[in-house]
Amino acid sequence: MVERAEYVGVKGAAVYLGTGERFIRRLVAERRVVFYKVGGLVRFKVADLEAYAQAGRVEAIEVRWHGGRAVA
């Protein structure tokens, strides 16, 4: 049996990433996210959306204050 990957459309991608549909369409136009064309439809694998989100992850750093200014 073939395991079916979970795909979502533009609206589903926007909900998953917590953005607007317009932002998702811009990502597609700029080729900044992996997408699949199915006929005239644009689809995204949830795993690809998660990889896109993780690629933008910024680690926290410890900030100390010394003399009224932040020191990393």
7 bridge partner residues: 45
Q: Two tokens at 59? A: 């680690």
Q: What is the model's pLDDT at position 72?
A: 66
Q: What is the pLDDT of residues 6-27, one digit of tens each?
A: 999 999 999 999 999 999 999 9
**Dist. CA 4–CA 7, nearest whole Å:** 9
**What mean pLDDT is predicted for residues 24-51?**
96
Taking CA 2 as the corner, what is the angle to CA 40 and CA 11, rounded to the nearest 5 degrees?
35
What's this model's pTM, rounded to 2 decimal places?
0.77
Confidence of residue 5 (pLDDT cuts 50, 70, 90): low
Q: What is the model's pLDDT at position 3?
A: 63
In whole angstroms, how far apart are CA 40 and each of 43, 52, 58? 10, 23, 35
